[in-house]
Structure 1
Amino acid sequence: MWEWLVPVIVIVAILAIAGIYLWATYNALVSLNVRVDEAWSDITVQLKRRADLLPNLIETVKGYAAHEKAVFENVTRARAETISAQSPAEAGVAEGHMQQALRSLFAVAEAYPQLQASQNFLQLQQSIVDTEDKIQASRRFYNGGVRELNTKTKVFPNNLFARQLGFQAREFFEVVDGAAISEPPRVQF
């Protein structure tokens, strides 16, 4: 009489466990996705901060080295490229160009001792260095979040349903020209 109850209970228990697993996995994926979005936002905030500092730095250096027009144009072009980057891949390319442009700008500044002594220049230079450190930290946090999200979406059995739930692998923020950032802009005080 009650023989049919045992298989029904087993099936209901299996469905309940599967449902709880799907619910927990979905929530974990949403959480990781939000963390990656937050980390990308942190990167864009720091890139914007640096972009906001650059016009003041350029104007300060221009006061001493107005004839270095190509350097200023390169920094301005790199700044525009950084601001317009919409994806980690675009930002990586722009970051390589920015590092090269900053390296050139600081090289020009080194040729002018009176500029090196300018309090305004020193403050701007320190702000740029601080911002570069924050960009690096934000990039590490972003890439760590991407690693966790990508791993979670690719492991079995999550890979069977993560894509159907709308979760896709995200791209890392990697600088295309690794040599461009292998040595940060040299700043001497």
Structure 2
Amino acid sequence: MKKWFGPIGIIVIILIVLALVLIPKYNSLVTAEENVDSKWAQVENQLQRRYDLIPNLVESVKGYANHEQQIIADITNARAQMGNANTPEQQAVANDALSGALSRLLVVVENYPNLKADANFRQLMDELAGTENRLAVAREDYNNEVQQFNKHVKRFPGNLMAGMFGFEQKEYFKAAAGAEQAPSIDFSQSGTQ
């Protein structure tokens, strides 16, 4: 009986040591992934807030800019694309389309001084600007969490654990191609309407 106790005892000790090493690493991967998901939920929250503000903004502009229907249609289409996006990648593409349409709307607004002076419009623009700021912070927080998670997944021994339990790297929220260039805005027609 003592012959078997030695090898069995060693195997039990090895299993205990492995458990003491693997369990905390697995739990840290789970925690890191939950942090990424939580930060993404905050990005989605701000995207939803912007999504909800846009119809009010569009309605405010419609009364002043009836002939600017293409921009209003672009915003409506981009908003619909945003509503149908399911993954972070799809939401990033939809976000870029919506941001582009909104920037074109702001150029149109410059041609309508009465609209810029309207209290409801100003309040909506202030809320939208605040939402854009919150969205920028939420995207930064998300990308920071993705960076931490990806470090866990790529570093040894985390990469072994990640591979064994199916943890994969997360995608960063990336800027659209061409976002590094400021949009050109022409105010030469401002006040002529």
TM-score (norm 2): 0.85
Amino acid corresponding to residue 145 of structure 1 in structure 2: E
Amino acid corresponding to residue 42 of structure 1 in structure 2: Q
- The correspondence of residues 116-127 of structure 1 with structure 2, limited to 5 A, is 116-127=116-127
Deviation string 1:4-42 (CA, Å, 9 cap, x unpaired) is: 988876665443332111110111111111111111111
> 1:175: how far off?
2.6
Which residue number in structure 2 is paired with residue 96 of structure 1?
96
**Alignment: residue pair count:** 183
Matches of 2:101 and 2:118 in 1, distance apart?
21
Amino acid corresponding to residue 48 of structure 2 in structure 1: K
Matches of 2:143 and 2:181 in 1, distance apart?
17
Which residue number in structure 2 is paired with residue 17 of structure 1?
17
Which residue number in structure 1 is paired with residue 79 of structure 2?
79
Identical positions, percent: 39
Structure 1 runs of 4+ aligned residues shifted over 2 Å read 2-18, 175-178, 181-184
Deviation string 1:66-110 (CA, Å, 9 cap, x unpaired) is: 110000011111111112211121122112111110111011111
Which residue number in structure 2 is paired with residue 150 of structure 1?
150
Which residue number in structure 1 is paired with residue 191 of structure 2?
none
Matches of 1:32 and 1:80 in 2, distance apart?
32
Which residue number in structure 1 is paired with residue 32 of structure 2?
32
> Unaligned 5+ residue runs, structure 1?
none
> 1:182: how far off?
5.5
> 1:134: how far off?
0.9
Checking the alignment, whether the CA contact within 8 Å between 1:47 and 1:83 is kept in structure 2 is: no
Matches of 2:35 and 2:51 in 1, distance apart?
24
Q: Which SS does the other structure have where 2:147 is aligned?
A: helix
Which residue number in structure 1 is paired with residue 56 of structure 2?
56
TM-score (norm 1): 0.87
Amino acid corresponding to residue 175 of structure 2 in structure 1: V
- The correspondence of residues 36-47 of structure 1 with structure 2, limited to 5 A, is 36-47=36-47
Q: Which SS does the other structure have where 1:65 is aligned?
A: coil
Checking the alignment, whether the CA contact within 8 Å between 1:93 and 1:177 is kept in structure 2 is: no
> Unaligned 5+ residue runs, structure 2?
186-193
Q: Cα 1:125–1:33, aligned 2, differ >3 Å: closer, same or farther?
A: same
Matches of 1:113 and 1:50 in 2, distance apart?
24
